[in-house]
Structure 1
């Protein structure tokens, strides 16, 4: 198999067309088209469906792209590392991170990483969905309690817990009386939360009255006394310390973990290794209290508004 033709095929597949690939790489469109045609002929397979202005990978083309794109990237990174005379982190690093972590931590974390590794071009996108790392060309993803995936490996670097909080104006109700609640996600008719109290576990009847799409919005609404809310301890700590929210107890059975994940079949490059080490150095204990302390200045400022 012609390695150059394979590289050109990956270039076209990644950009979704010959024209886009040509503009991105500075290569002639005709050369890319010829190279891909030669690869198809040598494999006796059609790799792209060509119709009008659309270019779509065939089933065989998608399989070839998924299996070879990471390998070609590794070859390129190895050659660059050898040419530079070492394994110093350099080049582009693409990371996908969840919304709450991005809003509260990632800006400061990313800035610190770039100051430590100025030859890295760091690109971070915020997304709570499970992105396709190979298809969307991510080097690393950060996820909350990810589902098992044989194609990904990684490490948990932070733990958090949920706590039920409310404004001081809202009293903990007596048993059997439903309390209004602010929830993240869909509203249900009624539900209950089990919380740990000094006197023992308590099942709290709740009636959701407000649904919001992010924990930061849930926290802001809870401050106004609209209802009780379940929040990550790290996000609620500053308000609890300031007295703007009162903790009713931790939610039983809702521990969360933040994971840094990467493809299991891919050798880790120096950039990913450096970022993983930076996460470990930033959060050596990985506790909710450590995360809250890291968020401290921003959380205190937001609480004071």
Structure 2
């Protein structure tokens, strides 16, 4: 049945009932005593019930008023608690942030940032979910999402953090120097790391592009960079690896670069989050922390 009374008038009644005084309730609500009295009378008229007994010295609840107060007072207390929680969300650094990130970028770039952020803000918790698949970030109720490429999500802000290139690598003892053009990659055993099942290569100087789809000689398919690099180090074949992972291993002699003049087009690591004007403080702090950290990384180069 549709309510024929004002919920705000009911809130005024609950305040009077809790305080036991129109004057104190009016001060609590920040309204004139005459206005409060009129609104309580209007509520009783709308309900066609008497809720309060009034005399010159005190206010008391009728039996019906007591029932209304017991049922509705708890609801307004809960709404007040919710309001306080929402205020803390907006203005205090506390609560949980749900984050989704790719497995490899998460372990390479983001792990230390996450840990340092938690050290700086001890009342904030991070719920981290690492996956190389594109999850439904709306359905999973994510607060912040990190993605490499394909950043467009309606009503989400995408901030670029870092460009990543993929390069082809092999075992240091393999005669990979004999590979002089991407067309020759199909002549060698290979390992694929999903979702990068197509090796997109470009020659930066000439602008020539070549897409290699490993099929012939495919030895292993994985979905994690460390498994890929271990397989290459075991001599199982060549693989397509992000430069942030491959370059340190090449410098240490653990991998050898194939086709050193070829690499992928830049794939950008993005951070996605909702409307910047209505973010909880914990998310705003996290976004700023990540942006500052990646800016510092760029400046240090």
Q: Deviations over 1:142-180 (max 9, x none)?
A: 111125222221201122111111111111235664122
Separation (CA, whole Å) in 1 of partners of 2:103 and 2:191: 19
Say if 2:109 is the partner of 1:100. no
Change (3 A) 1:147 1:202: closer
State the shift of 1:90 in Å.
1.3
SS in 2 for 1:283: helix
Point out the more displaced range, 101-110 or 276-285. 101-110
Which of 223, 233, 241 aligns to 1:231? It is: 241
Q: TM-score, normalised by structure 1?
A: 0.59
Q: TM-score, normalised by structure 2?
A: 0.59
Corresponding residue number in structure 1 for 2:253: 243
Question: Is the 8 Å Cα contact of residues 98 and 126 (structure 1) preserved in structure 2?
Answer: yes
SS in 2 for 1:123: strand
The structure with the largest alpha-carbon Rg is 2
Corresponding residue number in structure 2 for 1:267: 278
Structure 1 unaligned blocks of 5 or more: 5-73, 291-305
Say if 2:132 is the partner of 1:124. no
Corresponding residue number in structure 1 for 2:10: none
Aligned residues: CA RMSD: 3.6
Point out the more displaced range, 233-242 or 123-132. 123-132
Change (3 A) 1:268 1:81: closer
Corresponding residue number in structure 1 for 2:150: 146
Corresponding residue number in structure 2 for 1:179: 188
Point out the more displaced range, 132-141 or 212-221. 132-141
Corresponding pairs, count: 213
Separation (CA, whole Å) in 2 of partners of 1:209 and 1:169: 18
